[in-house]
Structure 1
Amino acid sequence: MTDRFFALIGGGSDEHAAIAATVARAPLLHIAYAQRGCLVVVERGASVVPVDDRGVVIGPLFAVGRRGQQHALSANEAAAVTASAGHHLTRAYWGGYVAILPAVGQDSVDVLRAPFGELPCFYARTGSRWIIASDVALLARYGGFQPSLDWAALARFLCAPTLRSSETCLRGLQEVRGGDRLTVAGPAATTACLWSPWTFAATDRQLLDPVEAARRLRADIVSAIATRGSTAKRSVLMLSGGLDSSVAACAAAQDGVALRCVNVRTNDPGGDERRYARSVCDHLGFALEERAFALDGIDLARSAAAALPRPVTRAFEYEARRQAYAVAAEVGADLVLTGGGGDNIFCSLQSVTPLLDCLASFPDRREFWRVAREISEFCDASLVTVVRRAWRRSWKKRRPIPTDVDLRFLSAAAREQAATLPRHPWLRPPKTVLPGKAAHVSLLLGTQHLTEDSDPQADRRLLSPLISQPVVELCLRIPSWMWFDRGCNRAVARHAFEADLPPDVAWRRSKGSPDSFLVEMFEANRDQIRALLLHGNLARHGLLDTDALSPHLDDVGPVHGSDHVRILRLVDIEAWTRCWPA
Structure 2
Amino acid sequence: MQGVARGDWFVVLPDGDAAAAAARALRPVAPQVLRHTSGRPWLFGCWPQDMVVSAQAGPVRVVVAGECAVTAPVLSRALARVRSLAEAREAAAGLAGSFHLFASVGGRVWAQGTLAAVRRVFHARVGDAVVACNRPEVLARLSGAGWDGQWLALRLSGMVMPFPLHESVPWEGVEPVAADEGLVLEADGRARTVRRWQVPEPDASLSEGAAAVRTALSDAVEARTAGRSTVSTDLSGGMDSSSLAFLAAGGATRLVTYRFAESDVGNDDAHYARLSAGQLTGARHVVDGAGSVPAMFAGLQSASSSAGGAGSEPFGWVRSRARLKHLAKTMASAGSRLHLAGHGGDEVFRTGSHTHLHDLVRRSPLSGWGRVRDYRAMARVSWSAALRQLADGRTPGQEVTAQARELQAGPLTRGGGWVTGWAGTPVMPVWASEDAVEAARVLLSAVAGDGCAPLARWREQHEVLLLARCTGTVVAQADRLTRQVAGVGLEVPFLDDAVLRAALAVHPGQRNQPGRYKPLLAEAMHGTVPLEVLSRRTKGEFSADFYQGWQRHRGDILALLEDSRLARHGLIDTDRARRALLRPHTSALDLAPLDATLATEVWLREAESNPLRGSVTERGESRP
Q: TM-score, normalised by structure 1?
A: 0.82
Higher mean displacement: 237-246 or 50-59:
50-59
Listed as ranges, the matches of 1:329-478 within 5 Å are 329-351=332-354, 353-355=355-357, 357-358=359-360, 365=367, 369=370, 371=371, 375=375, 379-381=378-380, 392-400=388-396, 401-402=422-423, 404-408=425-429, 409-416=431-438, 417-421=440-444, 422=447, 428-429=453-454, 433-453=457-477, 454-455=479-480, 458=484, 459-478=487-506
Cα displacement (A) at 1:30: 4.4
- Tell whether the 8 Å contact from 2:33 to 2:41 is kept in structure 1 after alignment: no
Cα displacement (A) at 1:329: 1.6
Q: For 1:263, which of 259, 265, 269 is the aligned residue?
A: 259
Cα displacement (A) at 1:89: 6.0
Residues 1:244 and 2:249 aligned together: no
Cα displacement (A) at 1:41: 3.0
Name the SS of the counterpart of 1:478 in structure 2: coil
- Tell whether the 8 Å contact from 1:270 to 1:512 is kept in structure 2 after alignment: no
In 1, the alpha carbon distance for the partners of 2:496 and 2:566 equals 36
Deviations 1:273-317 (A, max 9, x none): 222211111123233211134239811123389652201242333
- Tell whether the 8 Å contact from 2:23 to 2:41 is kept in structure 1 after alignment: no
Counterpart position of 1:520 = 548
In 2, the alpha carbon distance for the partners of 1:531 and 1:311 equals 19
In 2, the alpha carbon distance for the partners of 1:124 and 1:530 equals 38
Cα displacement (A) at 1:340: 0.4
Counterpart position of 1:96 = 98
Which one-letter code corresponds to 2:250 in the other structure? Answer: Q
Which one-letter code corresponds to 1:60 in the other structure? Answer: G
Residues 1:60 and 2:66 aligned together: yes
Residues 1:282 and 2:278 aligned together: yes
Q: TM-score, normalised by structure 2?
A: 0.77
Listed as ranges, the matches of 1:135-150 within 5 Å are 135=135, 144=142, 146=144, 148-150=146-148
Name the SS of the counterpart of 2:598 in structure 1: helix
Q: Per the alignment, do residues 426 and 446 of structure 1 end up closer, same or farther by CA in structure 2, a change over 3 Å counting?
A: farther
Higher mean displacement: 117-126 or 460-469:
117-126
Counterpart position of 1:225 = 221
Q: Per the alignment, do residues 524 and 394 of structure 1 end up closer, same or farther by CA in structure 2, a change over 3 Å counting?
A: closer
Residues 1:170 and 2:150 aligned together: no
Higher mean displacement: 542-551 or 438-447:
438-447
In 2, the alpha carbon distance for the partners of 1:55 and 1:183 equals 15
- Tell whether the 8 Å contact from 2:12 to 2:44 is kept in structure 1 after alignment: yes
Counterpart position of 1:482 = 510
Q: For 2:42, which of 39, 42, 57 is the aligned residue?
A: 39
Which one-letter code corresponds to 2:473 in the other structure? Answer: H
Q: Per the alignment, do residues 21 and 91 of structure 1 end up closer, same or farther by CA in structure 2, a change over 3 Å counting?
A: closer
Q: For 1:158, which of 156, 175, 185 is the aligned residue?
A: 156
- Tell whether the 8 Å contact from 1:3 to 1:47 is kept in structure 2 after alignment: no
Name the SS of the counterpart of 2:42 in structure 1: strand
| Bigger relative contact order (CA 8 A; separation at least 6) | 2
In 2, the alpha carbon distance for the partners of 1:424 and 1:506 equals 43
Name the SS of the counterpart of 1:397 in structure 2: coil
Which one-letter code corresponds to 2:220 in the other structure? Answer: A
Which one-letter code corresponds to 1:544 in the other structure? Answer: I
Deviations 1:359-417 (A, max 9, x none): 5555764x864x4576468x454xxx587765554433253213542311322222222
Unaligned runs of 5+ in 2: 1-6, 397-421, 612-624
- Tell whether the 8 Å contact from 2:116 to 2:468 is kept in structure 1 after alignment: no
Q: Per the alignment, do residues 423 and 542 of structure 1 end up closer, same or farther by CA in structure 2, a change over 3 Å counting?
A: same
Deviations 1:240-265 (A, max 9, x none): 21121112122223344432111123
- Tell whether the 8 Å contact from 1:180 to 1:194 is kept in structure 2 after alignment: yes
In 2, the alpha carbon distance for the partners of 1:117 and 1:300 equals 26
- Tell whether the 8 Å contact from 2:116 to 2:465 is kept in structure 1 after alignment: no
The CA RMSD measured in Å over matched residues stands at 3.8
In 2, the alpha carbon distance for the partners of 1:478 and 1:218 equals 13
Unaligned runs of 5+ in 1: none
Q: Per the alignment, do residues 566 and 75 of structure 1 end up closer, same or farther by CA in structure 2, a change over 3 Å counting?
A: same
In 1, the alpha carbon distance for the partners of 2:475 and 2:320 equals 14
Name the SS of the counterpart of 2:525 in structure 1: helix
- Tell whether the 8 Å contact from 1:7 to 1:40 is kept in structure 2 after alignment: yes
Name the SS of the counterpart of 1:578 in structure 2: helix
Residues 1:5 and 2:10 aligned together: yes
Cα displacement (A) at 1:510: 1.5
Higher mean displacement: 523-532 or 4-13:
4-13
- Tell whether the 8 Å contact from 2:376 to 2:386 is kept in structure 1 after alignment: no
In 1, the alpha carbon distance for the partners of 2:338 and 2:574 equals 42
Residues 1:546 and 2:574 aligned together: yes
Cα displacement (A) at 1:137: 7.6
Residues 1:327 and 2:330 aligned together: yes
Name the SS of the counterpart of 1:183 in structure 2: strand
Cα displacement (A) at 1:538: 0.4
In 2, the alpha carbon distance for the partners of 1:346 and 1:13 equals 43
Overall identity of the aligned pairs, in %: 21
- Tell whether the 8 Å contact from 1:85 to 1:103 is kept in structure 2 after alignment: no
Residues 1:298 and 2:298 aligned together: yes
Cα displacement (A) at 1:447: 3.1
Name the SS of the counterpart of 1:579 in structure 2: helix
Q: Per the alignment, do residues 355 and 195 of structure 1 end up closer, same or farther by CA in structure 2, a change over 3 Å counting?
A: same
Cα displacement (A) at 1:331: 1.4
In 2, the alpha carbon distance for the partners of 1:491 and 1:375 equals 16
In 2, the alpha carbon distance for the partners of 1:438 and 1:31 equals 37
Counterpart position of 1:572 = 599
In 2, the alpha carbon distance for the partners of 1:311 and 1:303 equals 12
Q: Per the alignment, do residues 517 and 394 of structure 1 end up closer, same or farther by CA in structure 2, a change over 3 Å counting?
A: closer
Which one-letter code corresponds to 1:523 in the other structure? Answer: Q
- Tell whether the 8 Å contact from 2:237 to 2:276 is kept in structure 1 after alignment: yes
Residues 1:207 and 2:204 aligned together: yes
- Tell whether the 8 Å contact from 1:265 to 1:271 is kept in structure 2 after alignment: no
